[in-house]
Amino acid sequence: MYYAGVDVGSTTTKAAILDVNRALLGTSLLATGADVTLAGQRAFDRAVAAAEIEPHDVTMIIGTGYGRYKVTFGHAQITEISCHAKGASFLFPNTRTLLDIGGQDTKAIRIGVGGEVLEFVMNDKCAAGTGRFLDASAQVLDIPLEDLGTTGLRARAPIKLSNVCTVFVESEILSHTARGRPTEDIVGGVHKAIASRSVALLRRVGIEEEVTFTGGVSRNVGMQRAIEEALGTSLNVSELSQHMGAIGAALFALERSEGKHVSPGVQVST
């Protein structure tokens, strides 16, 4: 018996396959693109192939993420808040505070034993301080997005950004470039600005050990360091941090199949 979680995000779509013993058998990650339903189906198909099973072997599929209701082949939908908390608790059982930075939003979550969501807050509807902001910064600086993290690590005197508005980041970065500021110091300043904004969200829910970092931005090593410096503590980060929502959804699918009570998930409001 196998269980799947499909996390359809604004930028990327992820899927995960678990067996009855909670072993992770396969994952996938791809760009969401314009066709959200197709992205969910492709992610599921690729995860199934990675697990070396057949689609009909999957007992239950749970959709999550902003496009969860577009996972039309799934059996149920649970919000990404609950799924990230469940996945984080699965990989790091002592997690009590969770920071999730995705393509267009940031979430700070306080969780209990077993991944129960106790409280959460989100950034406002603006994409400031999210993956989209980092992407815009990389484009202005003509740096591949995947190199942004290591570039920021080389900063010696990070600049101070006046704001983290995605709309105005281009003009501000160009201004610093014109003044001859090193690219690494500009990127370091971008990371520090996002870290400050993220830690402010975490403080609103209460920062408790251990702190786990999830979402696509968690793969940025410069961002990891900036947040750790702002927090004054280390972060739990896994190679699977970007798949955390999909893993949590698969866990909910397994528990629902076993007849355990499964919360419908915390409803998200901004």
- pLDDT tens for the 270 residues of the chain, in order: 899 999 999 899 999 999 999 999 999 999 999 999 999 999 999 999 999 999 999 999 999 999 999 999 999 999 999 999 999 999 999 999 999 998 888 999 999 988 999 999 998 766 677 888 899 899 999 999 999 999 999 999 999 987 777 777 888 899 999 999 999 999 999 999 999 989 999 999 999 989 999 999 999 999 999 999 999 999 999 999 999 999 999 999 999 998 865 554 433 332
Based on the fold, state whether residues 80 and 102 are members of the same structural domain.
no
pLDDT number for residue 125: 62
Split into its structural domains, the chain has a count of: 2
Given this model, what pLDDT does residue 258 score?
85
Task: Assess whether 132 and 112 both reside in one domain.
Answer: yes
Same-domain check for residues 169 and 248: no
Q: What is the pLDDT of residue 260?
A: 67
Cβ atoms of 5 and 15 closer than 8 Å = yes
pLDDT at 261: 52
Q: How far is CA 78 from CA 28, 87, 153, 222, 253, in A?
A: 19, 13, 36, 31, 10
Co-location of 158 and 57 in the same domain: no
Shared domain check, 107 and 69: no
Same domain as 259, residue 168: no
Amino acid 132: pLDDT: 86
| CATH number reported for the structural domain that contains residue 50 in this entry | 3.30.420.40
Q: Are residues 150 and 62 in the same domain?
A: no
CA 175 vs CA 167, 180, 194, 207: distances in Å: 14, 9, 19, 36
Query: Residue 169: what pLDDT?
Result: 81
Q: Are residues 231 and 243 in the same domain?
A: no
- Characterise 116 by phi-psi region: left (phi > 0), alpha (psi -120 to 50), beta (else): beta
Residues 105 and 197 in one domain: yes
Residues 243 and 228 occupy one common structural domain: no
Q: Are residues 217 and 101 in the same domain?
A: yes
State the residue range of the domain holding 187. Answer: 96-237
Q: For residue 103, what pLDDT is reported?
A: 85
pTM for this model (two decimals): 0.91
3 state SS of 49? helix
Q: Is there a single domain that holds both residue 51 and residue 112?
A: no
